[in-house]
Amino acid sequence: MKQSLQLKLGQQLTMTPQLQQAIRLLQLSTLDLQQEIQQALDSNPLLEMSEDDSYGADDDPSDNNSNDAGDSDDSPRNKNDKNSDTPEDAPDWSSQELDGTSSMSDELPVDVQWDDLLPSASAPLSQGDDNNDSDFAAQNSASESLREQLLWQLGLTRLSDTDRLIALSIIDATDANGRLLSTPEEIFESLSGDLDVEFDELIAVLHRLQQFEPAGVCARDLQECLLIQLNQLPPTTPWLEQARLIVSRYLNQLATSDFGQILRRTRINEEELKQVLTLIQSLDPNPGYTAVPEDVEYVVPDVFVTKRNGRWLVELNPDIAPKLRINTGYASLIKRADNSADNTYLRDNLQEARWFLKSLHSRNETLMKVASKIVDHQRNFLEYGTEAMKPLVLHEIAEAVEMHESTISRATTNKYMHTPRGVFELKYFFSSHVATTAGGECSSTAIRALIKKLVAAENPRKPLSDNKIALLLKEQGIEIARRTIAKYRDALYIPPSNERKRLV
C-alpha cells in the first residue's frame, strides 16, 4: 500500500490540567483540601495567605477605595490590576445570575451569601488560644492501649520468670475488647516447645490475669467475662447468686428473651427477675473497649444552614480554608519580554497560582449551588424533621444546577452540612422513593424514621413484628413489603422482635 499524508478535522474531548485540578479539588474533603492548600503554599512562592479581608493603604497608595470589598485587590472583580489575586478571566459574580435568575432570594426561600464563593473570602485557619496549652496536650496525647494497661499491671505483680512469660503470651492473645483470641490449649501448645510448663500452671496464670483491671479481661467467652465481673462484686450485692445462676446456666435463654423458661427453672417471680436482669445489664460485655475509649474525630461542616427572618440562609464555613492571594511583590517582578530562567519560573508559578485560585473559586461555587438546591428541596426536613424528608436523586440536582451527575456526586461526597437538626453528609439528603396508596412518593429515609418511631413506642412485652410494622405503614398510606421493613430495620441496627422483648 502507498503511504500518504492526509488532513482530517474532528472533535475530541480533552481534559486540560486546569479542569483536572478543578475536579480533583471538588472531590476533596475539608481536611484533604486544607492539606492541598498548604502544599500549594509551600511549593508556589506566588501564593500567600492574607491576614485581612482587604489590603492596607500602604499596598496601593493610589487606591482611594482599598477598604471597599468590591474594589480591593483580593476581589476577582478587580480585573484591571495585573497583580490581582485571582485569575484575569475570573467572572464578575456580583452581577452573574444563578440558574437563569437574577436573585435566588426572589424566587426561593433560600438565601446565598455569594461573597463566600470567593477564594479570598474564607477565614484563616483558627489558631488556638495561649491558655489552651493543656487542652492541646490532652487532644494530641495518644490513649493508652489495653495491652499497655495489662503490661503495666503485670509489672506490679510478683511472678516467676516462667509465669511472666506465660502471662505475656496470654496478653498477646487478648484482643482490644479484652477477649482471648486463642484457647488456653492453643497457647499451651505454642509454649510447650520453648518452656517446660504444665497446663495447670497456665490456667493459674490466666486466673491471675483475670483479676486485672478492667474487670472481665482475658475471658474466653462472654459467659466467663460476665461471671468474672460478678465474682468481683461484694458478697452483699443484692441478687448476686441469682445473677450467677442465670449467667452460668441460662445465658442462651436470656439472649433469646425466653423469660418464661427462666422463670420456671429458677423459680423466681417476674419482679425478682427484673432486679436480676438489672444487675446483669450493669456488667460490661466488652471491658477492653470501654477501658480504652476511641479517639474522637470531629466532623468539620463545609456548609452552614440557618434560619433568619423566616428564610433559610446557606453559607460556606469560613474556617475550612485560609484566605489566599497572589504575592504582588513577586508578581511585579515578571517582565513580558524576558525569557530568562528566573522570569520563566515566576511566570509559570503565577499562572499556576491563578489556576489554583480559580479552581478553588469553582469548587466553592459548585458547593454553594448544590447545597442551596438541596436545602430548597428538603425544606420540610429542616422544618419538621426526618419524617418529612422528600425523595431526591442526583439527577434532579444535576438538572437544577445544569451539571453532570458525576459532578454532583463529587460535590456531595465527604461534604457535610450543619443544620439546626444536626450535621449531615450531603449524600444523606438523597434517597430512593416508595410509592404511596395516594399515588405519591415517600422517601426511604422518612420510612426508616417512621420505623424507628414505631419501634420506640411499641409495647416491650409484645414487640412489633416486621409484618405488623408493614401493616401500620399501610394504614398511613405507604405500601412497603415486609422484607423491605427487615432491610431498613437492619440498617437502623434494630434487632428482630423476639430479641426486643422485655419484661418492662
CATH label of the domain that carries residue 479:
1.10.10.60
Residues 286 and 309 in one domain: no
- The reply to whether 341 falls in a domain is yes
Domain boundary among 291, 318, 349: 291
Residues 43 and 100 in one domain: yes
Question: What confidence score (pLDDT) does residue 112 get?
Answer: 52
Residues in the chain predicted with pLDDT less than 50, given as ranges, are: 53-109, 114-142
pLDDT recorded at residue 92? 40
228-263: pLDDT as tens digits? 999 999 999 999 999 999 999 999 988 888 888 899
Separation CA 255–CA 499 (nearest Å): 7
441-448: long-range contacts (C-beta < 8 A, 24 or more apart)? 441/391, 442/391, 442/478, 443/389, 443/390, 443/391, 443/392, 444/391, 444/488, 445/386, 445/389, 446/386, 446/387, 446/388, 446/389, 446/390, 447/473, 447/478, 447/480, 447/488, 448/386, 448/488, 448/491, 448/492
pLDDT value of position 283: 93
Print the domain residue range for 462: 431-499
Tell me if 352 sits within 8 A of 43, measured CB to CB. no
Residues 283 and 307 in one domain: no
434 three-class SS: strand
Supply the DSSP symbol for 420: T
pLDDT at position 145 is: 86
SS3 content of the chain, % helix, strand, coil (to 5): 50, 10, 40
Confidence at residue 172, expressed as pLDDT on a 0 to 100 scale: 93
Same structural domain, 158 and 227: yes
Is 158 in the same domain as 274?
A: yes
Q: Which helix (H) or strand (E) holds 146?
A: helix 146-155
Rounded to whole angstroms, the Cα distance separating 376 from 112 reads: 11
Interstrand relation of 110-112 and 311-316 (parallel, antiparallel or unpaired): parallel
The whole-number pLDDT of residue 383 equals: 92
Residues 358 and 491 in one domain: no
Number of domains in the chain: 3
Q: Report yes or no on 223 lying in a domain.
A: yes
Tell me, yes or no, whether 113 and 158 share the same domain.
no
The strand ranges marked E within 426-496 are 433-435, 441-443
Domain match, 182 and 153 both: yes
Q: How confident is the model at residue 79, as a pLDDT?
A: 39
Considering the entire predicted model, what is its pTM?
0.65
Furthest CA-CA distance within the chain: 104
169 and 259: one domain? yes
H or E element that contains 303: strand 303-308
Residue 35 located in a structural domain: yes
